[in-house]
Amino acid sequence: MSKTYTIEIQHQGQTHTIEVPEDKKILEVAEEAKLDLRNSCNAGVCTTCAAKIIGEGTVDQADGMGVGRELQEEGYVLLCVAYPR
């Protein structure tokens, strides 16, 4: 059984809370919860789904090429390839 993380997404002036298993991408679960988040390639390249971590937590986004090391260190993630950790 995989671990589940509580994720808060601030979008269009509202805060949404979703439960994301460690083996599912954040964007995938957000879409299942009917959140309308911008995305395009779903491959970690285009940066349309870029977001910033503003609280605690980290992600595994090893498949993401669109956000360089410097932006990752500033907390930016690509939700289409981000797994919660």
What is the value of pTM for the model shown? Answer: 0.92
Residue 83, pLDDT score = 98
CATH code of 22's domain: 3.10.20.30
Q: How many domains does the chain have?
A: 1
Which domain, by its residues, includes 70?
Answer: 4-84
User: Residue 2 pLDDT more than 90?
Assistant: no
Supply the mean pLDDT for the chain: 95
Nearest alpha carbon to residue 43 among 69, 61, 22, 70: 61
Question: For residue 14, what are the CA distances in angstroms to 35, 49, 55?
Answer: 11, 17, 16
- Beta strands at 14-21 and 4-11: parallel, antiparallel or unpaired: antiparallel
Structure tokens at 11: 């979008």
Residue 20: Cβ within 10 Å count: 24
Residue 9, SS3 per DSSP:
strand
